[in-house]
């Protein structure tokens, strides 16, 4: 593959890395392969101050390549066990990118249960740290299957992560500093830049139309006057993704058939 060709996964990693631009010295937590590679890419390129983990119990000075390490020894710069992670995250000095199963128009997110709460059709992980994360620090989302099943009409079945829905907060006010920054999907990059934090299409992936995105979303999206195309990964980014961050090519399994980033319109 030449550096001018890139896959959809590589496009999403590059787009997702942008979430941490300008964040400075925060803990960048990427849950799942694409967010993890994206956090690593952000650290290796435009935000070297980011703190990242080995996905176990340490902060590392440089991203640990995913998969078999073949002798690579992580450079451990600090200890970050789970209980300490809560002390850090309650301080707000973190920006996590996570993968909710459902997201609604407020940015409320669900990883707990699908269907009726008492007798769910599908019990998932449980709310995990979503409630605390959502009100304590910046969050972003990665959604590999942009569809009306993921972007649901109404509200998510169980609100595990809070969204821009003031009615759910005491006094009808969002907590200070509340922010959901980016939603990166297989079709587009979304943000909350519409009126009253409505979800807006920030960029469309190459070959994808606004209508395609809207048709696969269970609520109305804000259509800006013009929508840019999601920038292609640069040669440096591609080299870092392929050689440093994911040398075994695990990203090929993110999307069925590992499609190219440039899709036919």
Partner 1 sequence: MLDKRMTVAEIIGTLRDGMTIGIGGWAARRKPMALVREIVRSPLKDLTVVAYGGPDIGMLCAAGKVRQLIFGFVTLDMLPLDMHYRTARQAGAFECRELDEGLVLLGLRAAAMRVPFLPTRVGFGTDVLKYNPWVRTVRSPYDDGEELVAMPALRLDAALLHVTEADALGNCVILSPDPFFDEHLARAADRTYLSCERLVPTAQVCGRERARYNPFERNLVAGVAEVPFGAHPTAGVPGYGFDLDHLNAYNAAAGEGWAAYRAKYIDLPDHASYLAAVGGAERIAAIPAPVF
Please say which residue, 119 or 256, places its beta carbon nearer to partner 1.
119
Give min distance, CB of 204 to partner 1, in A.
30
Q: Is residue 169 at the binding interface for partner 1, with CB under 8 A as the rule?
A: yes
Q: What is d(CA 99, CA 187) in angstroms, rounded to the nearest whole number?
A: 15
| Three-point CA angle 160, 179, 17, nearest 5° | 95
Give min distance, CB of 174 to partner 1, in A.
8
Give min distance, CB of 203 to partner 1, in A.
28
Please say which residue, 19 or 33, places its beta carbon nearer to partner 1.
33
Which range of residues in 23-31, 139-147, 165-173, 242-250 is near partner 1 by CB under 8 A? 165-173
Q: Is residue 197 at the binding interface for partner 1, with CB under 8 A as the rule?
A: no
Q: Which residue has the tokens 């996590």?
A: 96
Q: Which of 49, 123, 229, 235 binds partner 1 (CB under 8 A)?
A: 123
- Reduced to 3 states, what is the DSSP secondary structure of residue 91? coil
Q: Is residue 193 at the binding interface for partner 1, with CB under 8 A as the rule?
A: no
Q: Which residue has the tokens 């994808």?
A: 208
Q: Which of 14, 29, 47, 134 binds partner 1 (CB under 8 A)?
A: 134
Q: Would you call 83 exposed, middle or buried from its count of C-beta atoms within 10 A (0-12, 13-18, 19+)?
A: exposed
Which range of residues in 4-12, 133-141, 222-230, 257-265 is near partner 1 by CB under 8 A? 133-141
Q: At what angle do helices 8-17 and 33-44 cross, to 10 degrees?
A: 60
Q: Is residue 128 at the binding interface for partner 1, with CB under 8 A as the rule?
A: yes
Decide if 155 contacts 110 (C-beta within 8 A): no
Residues 76-115: x where in contact with partner 1 by CB under 8 A, - otherwise, as a string = -----xxx--x--xx-----------------x---xx--
Q: What is the DSSP string of 113-137?
A: EES-SSS-SEE-S--TTHHHHHHHS
Q: Is residue 247 at the binding interface for partner 1, with CB under 8 A as the rule?
A: no
Give min distance, CB of 75 to partner 1, in A.
15
Q: Is residue 219 at the binding interface for partner 1, with CB under 8 A as the rule?
A: no
Q: Is residue 121 at the binding interface for partner 1, with CB under 8 A as the rule?
A: yes
Q: What is d(CA 236, CA 14) in angstroms, rounded to the nearest whole number?
A: 11
Which residues, in sequence order, are CB contacts of 8 under 8 Å at separation 6+? Answer: 186, 205, 254, 255, 258, 259, 260, 261, 263
Q: What is d(CA 62, CA 49) in angstroms, rounded to the nearest whole number?
A: 11
Q: Tell me the longest C-alpha to C-alpha distance in the chain.
A: 55
Which residues contact partner 1 by CB under 8 A? 54-58, 67-69, 81-83, 86, 89-90, 108, 112-113, 117-132, 134-136, 158-163, 165, 168-171, 174-175
């Amino acid at each position: 593959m030449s550096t001018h060709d890139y896959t959809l996964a590589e496009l999403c990693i590059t787009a997702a890395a942008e979430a941490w631009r300008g964040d400075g010295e925060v803990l960048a937590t990427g849950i799942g392969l694409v967010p993890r590679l994206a956090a690593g890419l952000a650290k290796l390129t435009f935000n070297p101050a980011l703190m990242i983990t080995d996905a176990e119990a340490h902060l590392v000075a440089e991203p640990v390549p995913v998969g078999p390490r073949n002798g690579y020894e992580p450079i451990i710069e600090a200890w970050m066990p789970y209980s300490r992670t809560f002390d850090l995250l309650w301080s707000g000095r973190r920006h996590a990118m996570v993968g909710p199963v459902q997201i609604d128009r407020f940015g409320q997110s669900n990883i707990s249960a699908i269907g009726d709460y008492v007798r769910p059709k599908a019990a998932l992980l449980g709310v995990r740290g979503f409630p605390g994360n959502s009100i304590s620090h910046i969050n972003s989302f990665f959604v590999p299957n942009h569809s009306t099943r993921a972007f649901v009409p109404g509200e998510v079945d169980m609100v595990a992560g809070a969204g821009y829905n003031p009615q759910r907060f005491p006094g009808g006010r969002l907590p200070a500093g509340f922010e959901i920054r980016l939603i990166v999907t297989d079709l587009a990059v979304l943000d909350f830049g519409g009126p009253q934090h409505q979800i807006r299409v920030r960029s469309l992936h190459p070959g994808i139309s606004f209508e395609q995105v809207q048709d696969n979303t269970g609520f109305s999206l804000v259509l800006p006057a013009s929508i840019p195309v999601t920038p292609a990964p640069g040669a440096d980014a591609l080299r870092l993704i392929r050689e440093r961050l994911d040398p075994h090519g695990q990203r090929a399994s993110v999307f069925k058939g590992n499609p190219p980033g440039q899709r036919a319109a």
